[in-house]
Structure 1
Amino acid sequence: MLITILWYIDFLFFFAFTLWICYVALFAFASRIRRKIIFPDSDTSLRFAILFPAYKEDNVIRESVTRFKAQNYPADKLEIVVISDAMEDRTNDQLRAMGISLIHPDEGLRSKAAALTAAMSRLDTQLFDVVVVMDADNIVFPDFLSKLNNAFASGAKAIQTHRTAKNNTTATAILDGVSEEINNSIFRLGHARLGLPAALIGSGMAFDFNWFKQRIAAIKSMGEDKFLEYFLLLDRINTIYLEDVVILDEKIQYSDDFSKQRRRWIASQIDIFCLAIKQTRHALVSGNWALIDKIFQWSMPPRIIMLGIIPLFLLISFFVVDISSLKWFFLITLYMMSLALAIPKKMYTKQLFLAIFTLPRIFLAMVSSIIHFRSGRSTFIHTKHGTAPSKED
């Protein structure tokens, strides 16, 4: 009887993991298709609102806005807005002296969505065509806006740029940067190559101003990017991925901060999956295959959890009669090959090889995030910058 129960458990898990891994493999291979979307240079200069939500970001915000001001784009066609929350008066004064518009959100629930809603409620719809959402630590290059302008002038309504790591000082930062590039390959580039919308990532995002103003006001969750994706799919708006438009983003440096950040991500993924799955029937009937794809994507457990669980089933299968270990071996092999394919060649370094040995610690941090994910729904989790190293790093 026990063997029969174990066999059914093994079969159910293997079936689910096979679907998820085949999904990852499909888009990892698709990301290698050589095809780029090229938008022609536009004679029109659209009006951009650049939003920097900044909660206690005194250490990084000045550099970020300074770099953004160096755009090869008409200065009268853009406005940089910093949503200053709990920052020092000195920082705010310096930003004003730089010509930056400051908005102070109302006290209450602290979240990125709340900060963005506060900013949009105070910006005049008649003055802007496009809104760009940044993080306070993001660094862009001088052609950032001109490339976005070409895409929006050609009819784009939503864009995700190529966010990549700007720091690799610790093993956790290296792995976080690699994880982001895997996501870029599978959920953005691979999807775009097969004609599906790219996934949003939280910053380096740009939207039609009127659409964003309407939709952001309805988002109360900490995971605003996933809810924006959901609304884009409901409205059948294709999110374009601009692979060549690079934005630098500071990665998590220590596993404690990693656990806190992922706690919010997991909570938002669970919430959006529970909301989106209710649309499954309507999406099938109406042929909204992009939403079906996203619902399946949101059903997947975190990658590091899959990397820990599959070897565990492989190990257990060695000791249980009538359960084949060979199928788990092939599955973990396919998964590792798919992830390896999704990692850019330039990231295969000695530092990455050494960082791989810290994966068990990251796995435990992720398990902690899953256990405590409920706090990610109500607690605003601030990512620290330039914190002192701990013993583990």
Structure 2
Amino acid sequence: MIWQVIHIIDIVLWLLIACSTFYVVLFSLASLLKRHKAAQQQHSETSPYHFLVVYPAYNEDTVIRHSVATFLQQDYPKELFQLVVVSDHMSEETNNWLKEQPLTLLQPVFKKSSKGKALQYTIQQLGAKDQEWRIVILDADNVVEPDFLSRLNLLCQQGYRAIQCHRTAKNADNDIAALDGLSEEINNTLFRKAHNNIGLSSALIGSGMCFEYEWFAQHVDQLQTAVEDRELESLLLIENIYIHYAEDIYVMDEKVCSGDNFQRQRLRWMTGQVQSLISMLPHLPQAIIHGNVNYIDKTIQQALIPRSLLLVIIPFISLLILFISPIWSIKWWALLASLILSISIAIPSKLRNKSLWGKLISFPKLVWRMAANVFQINHKDTSFIHTSHSKTNNE
């Protein structure tokens, strides 16, 4: 009797964990396909778009000057974009420097700060704009190329209402930063490139995002949590608005360099994943009835076990089952092999080098920090968890 119970538990656990693993397998294979071009309505005008570019900056004195100075080198006509910095808890010295730049400086005072509140305040202050405007959201540490807006404009002219650019690491100061950048590139492959390849919407990532201004202004007040990108994604998919992944438009992003920052960042993401799943589930029946595949897919994403935890859970259970029944363990080892192969496929070729293996020594410590976060998740907590940036990376 006891062996039957153990066997049932073994099978149930395998099925639950296999769902998250096979999702990775499916989209790693999809990343190898040729991109499916989604049908978009061609813009009827030949005139370029206007862009409102927003840098929400909470306590970002160490990075905001470099980001702004770099962005002001855009080759796009100056009269066709407005740069906005939302300065929240930044020093007087930084604000005085910003006032001297050709930009709009907003200085709200929030009792409880968040990126969503900064975006809401921006729209409240700047008001409505016509259909020829797009809003671009960047993090305070983000750096872009001079042709960033020019290339975005071409995509907007093709009719895309929501665009996610290719956010990539601008630093690899240590093993933690390198692994953080690697993780983001794997996400880019699985949740953005692979999805677009088969005609599904890309996932958003929090910065390097471009939206139709009118749509954004109508929906920004619905942002309530510290993971506004997941909320925006849900709102877009409810309306069946396709999210295009601009793989060749890069946004350089600073990666975390310390274990503490890594843990805080992942806690925010894991909490947001649970909050997003809870908020999306009520709309799932209607999505199924109407065949909204993108919304169904996004809901499934929120229920997945993080890859890094899978890489610990599966080997642990495989070894455990091996001692109980070597035959039963075969399916676990096969699952582990499938996961490792899929992740390997998702790693961009330029990152597959010998130095990668040396950095993996930090992986167990990072996974331990992620596992510790599981016990700190509070789906009712909407507090903003700030990730600090290093001054040395931006001098």
**Structure 1 residues 36 and 296: CA distance shift in structure 2, 3 A:** closer
Q: Give the alignment partner of residue 162 of structure 1, picking from 134, 159, 166.
A: 166
In the alignment, is residue 228 of structure 1 matched against residue 261 of structure 2?
A: no
- 1:266 is aligned to 270
Deviation for aligned residue 1:7: 1.6
* Whole-Å separation in 1 of the counterparts to 2:313 and 2:365: 15
Residues 312-344 of structure 1, C-alpha deviation per residue, up to 9 Å, x if partnerless?
A: 110111122486111111110010000000001
In the alignment, is residue 33 of structure 1 matched against residue 36 of structure 2?
A: no
DSSP-derived class of the 2:323 partner: coil
List aligned pairs for 1:1-393, cutoff 5 A.
Answer: 1-35=1-35, 43-126=46-129, 129-321=133-325, 324-374=328-378, 377-386=381-390
**Structure 1 residues 266 and 378: CA distance shift in structure 2, 3 A:** same
Runs of 4 or more above 3 Å deviation = 34-43
Deviation for aligned residue 1:13: 1.6
Deviation for aligned residue 1:27: 1.1
* Whole-Å separation in 2 of the counterparts to 1:322 and 1:147: 55
**Residues 163 and 247, structure 1, Cα contact 8 Å, conserved in 2:** yes
* Whole-Å separation in 2 of the counterparts to 1:379 and 1:2: 46
* Whole-Å separation in 2 of the counterparts to 1:63 and 1:57: 11
* Whole-Å separation in 2 of the counterparts to 1:337 and 1:83: 43
**Structure 1 residues 57 and 328: CA distance shift in structure 2, 3 A:** same
DSSP-derived class of the 2:223 partner: coil
**Letter aligned with residue 2 of structure 2:** L
Gaps (5+ residues) in structure 2?
A: none
Deviation for aligned residue 1:24: 1.0
* Whole-Å separation in 2 of the counterparts to 1:378 and 1:227: 12
**Residues 35 and 198, structure 2, Cα contact 8 Å, conserved in 1:** no
**Residues 169 and 254, structure 2, Cα contact 8 Å, conserved in 1:** yes
**Residues 129 and 209, structure 1, Cα contact 8 Å, conserved in 2:** yes
Deviation for aligned residue 1:155: 1.1
* Whole-Å separation in 1 of the counterparts to 2:186 and 2:200: 17
Residues 152-189 of structure 1, C-alpha deviation per residue, up to 9 Å, x if partnerless?
A: 12211100000000011111111100000000000000
**Residues 167 and 250, structure 1, Cα contact 8 Å, conserved in 2:** yes
TM-score by length of 1: 0.94
Deviation for aligned residue 1:36: 7.6
DSSP-derived class of the 1:162 partner: strand
* Whole-Å separation in 2 of the counterparts to 1:200 and 1:257: 21
DSSP-derived class of the 2:68 partner: helix
* Whole-Å separation in 1 of the counterparts to 2:157 and 2:326: 61
DSSP-derived class of the 1:117 partner: helix
**Residues 67 and 139, structure 1, Cα contact 8 Å, conserved in 2:** yes
**Residues 263 and 375, structure 1, Cα contact 8 Å, conserved in 2:** no
Deviation for aligned residue 1:32: 1.8
* Whole-Å separation in 2 of the counterparts to 1:254 and 1:170: 9
* Whole-Å separation in 2 of the counterparts to 1:126 and 1:388: 39
DSSP-derived class of the 2:297 partner: helix
**Residues 67 and 141, structure 2, Cα contact 8 Å, conserved in 1:** yes
**Letter aligned with residue 381 of structure 2:** R
DSSP-derived class of the 1:319 partner: helix
Alignment RMSD, CA only? 2.1
TM-score by length of 2: 0.94
**Residues 21 and 335, structure 1, Cα contact 8 Å, conserved in 2:** yes
DSSP-derived class of the 2:102 partner: coil
**Residues 272 and 379, structure 2, Cα contact 8 Å, conserved in 1:** no
* Whole-Å separation in 1 of the counterparts to 2:153 and 2:187: 25
**Residues 264 and 377, structure 1, Cα contact 8 Å, conserved in 2:** no
DSSP-derived class of the 1:57 partner: coil
